[in-house]
Structure 1
Amino acid sequence: MKGFSTQGPDMKRLRRALADEAGFTLLEVLLATLLMTVILAALATVTAQWLPNWNRGIARVQRAERLATGLDRIIADLSVAEQMTVNGDAKAPLFEGAELSVTFLRTALGPSARPGLEFIRLIEKADAQGLALVRERAPFQPMPTDGQIRFVDQVVLIRAPFRVSFAYAGQDGQWQPTWRGQPQLPARIRITVRDGASGQVLAVSGAVIPHITAPAECARAKNPVTCVAAGSRPQQPTKEEQQL
């Protein structure tokens, strides 16, 4: 029996076949690597173009949600404003409305709030991040008509790029930028939301109707309608005042 020769034709053919197979495997690896590189480059390009738009979309959604939450809080507060004076001698209920702020009384809100009323102020302020509409509160206690209220618990409701302004209307439906010293609360309070950059009025703007717009004594009057109407008219001077 002849031995197997490592130098014979059979061995050469075997080596050639193995070399061909090794070369084909290396070519596959190179092609796969090239294909993976192309795919990764394409993904990187698409991601670079798509991710910023995605982030901007997320930011817009978050701003819209914060705006909606802030408006809900404003509407909830203004709709339950109380027709109350700060002391027994005051002639008008506490409601000081301006274009960029409004101060009023409402029932205390929150699990830690004590029963009773509290002062609420919605006012635009500036901080390190720009302009913002904030909500402040203070426990109610009788005080002089010209006394200062020390507000605490400042909470940001709406922040730039949005800005909020207020307007007020009585029973006559005429809008005005301020409401102070009136015998009763405004019949409607308009909340205007604008884009701070363009000044465009946004569709979320609207109006609030306070639940209580009549003095408390009118609830006990024989004719509440006449009582409310009398309270909404300017007081006529007495005969002694006319003679003076």
Structure 2
Amino acid sequence: MRSMLVRLWRSNAGFTMFEALVALAVMGLAFGVLASVTGAWLPPWNRGLLQTQRNEQVTVALDRLAADLSAAEFVTPNRDNTAALFRGDDSSIVFVRSAVGPNNRPGLEIVRIGEMTDRAGRALVRAQAPFVLLPTGDPAVDPIPFRDPVVLLRGPFRITFAYAGPRGDWRAIWPPWAGLPTTVRFDLHDADGTIVLSTATRVRANAAAPQGEPANDARPGESQAASNDGTGRR
């Protein structure tokens, strides 16, 4: 009777070594299959997530650019200048708009949107400063205390700008004497430099240039001197 109880206790004592090895082998096989499946779908999932994040970043950057540029105002840089404070080339823009944001006082601000390079690489950055009269009227020469830089877009994407007047002729550089453009275009480039998206926004302010839309980058009178009567009058 006692030997029978001992055998019964041993039979119910737990797994044998063989059973434990079999269980470990099955678990290892299951983990191997799971790792294989995970390795197959994880890279595409990461690529899709990265692409989604980049698309959201591009959308936010374009929306911010459109909101800023559409609010540009015709403000002269000083009392001796009749042209609007607007400077634009293919990689940067400086303009004046009404101040926005919880930390800004009511009034005007000078906004600069342009490319900068930091430790993370090239980025499109927006900075602003309270509007002040510029002695020379040129923001590239007069020191402007730009502050609160905000990164709008980072590589591999890049945004370039183009400008059009009432006649709709696009140019990469907007002449400083020509007032405000009527439309500003944003071209989104990928890592290879190919334009993958192009959109534009209209400037809501009175964008008509005092001299009319420029035919080229020369000042009025420089390219049409032959039409003067020799007295300086047209």
Q: Shorter-chain-normalised TM-score: which range?
A: 0.7 to 0.9
Instruction: Give the residue type in structure 1 aligned to 2:143.
Output: Q
Q: Aligned residue for 2:78?
A: 87
Q: Aligned residue for 2:66?
A: 75
- Determine the C-alpha separation between the residues in 2 that align with 1:23 and 1:148: 86
- Indicate conservation of the 8 Å contact 2:83/2:210, yes or no: no
Q: Aligned residue for 2:50?
A: 59
Change (3 A) 1:192 1:18: same
SS of aligned partner of 2:125? strand
SS of aligned partner of 2:38? helix
Tell me whether 1:241 sits opposite 2:232 in the alignment.
Answer: yes
- Indicate conservation of the 8 Å contact 1:184/1:213, yes or no: no
Deviation at 1:122, TM superposition (A): 0.6
Tell me whether 1:211 sits opposite 2:204 in the alignment.
Answer: yes
- Indicate conservation of the 8 Å contact 1:84/1:105, yes or no: yes
Q: Where in structure 2 are the equivalents of 1:64-213 lying within 5 Å?
A: 64-144=55-135, 145-146=137-138, 147-196=142-191, 198-203=192-197, 205-213=198-206
- Determine the C-alpha separation between the residues in 2 that align with 1:142 and 1:23: 92
Unaligned runs of 5+ in 1: 215-227
- Indicate conservation of the 8 Å contact 1:186/1:213, yes or no: no
Q: Aligned residue for 1:49?
A: 40
Instruction: Give the residue type in structure 2 aligned to 1:172.
Output: R
- Determine the C-alpha separation between the residues in 2 that align with 1:230 and 1:39: 77
Change (3 A) 1:28 1:142: same
**Per-residue displacement from partner, 1:214-240 (whole Å, max 9, x unpaired)?**
4xxxxxxxxxxxxx5864265786873
User: Aligned residues: percent identity?
Assistant: 40
TM-score by length of 1: 0.78
Higher helix content, 1 or 2: 1
Q: Which entry has the higher C-alpha Rg, 1 or 2? A: 1
Aligned residues: 218
- Determine the C-alpha separation between the residues in 2 that align with 1:201 and 1:160: 14
Change (3 A) 1:22 1:33: farther
SS of aligned partner of 1:202? strand
Deviation at 1:21, TM superposition (A): 5.2
- Indicate conservation of the 8 Å contact 1:125/1:133, yes or no: yes
- Determine the C-alpha separation between the residues in 1 that align with 2:209 and 2:24: 86
Measured on the aligned residues, the alpha-carbon RMSD in Å equals 2.9
The counterpart of 2:212, out of the listed 228, 232, 239, is 232
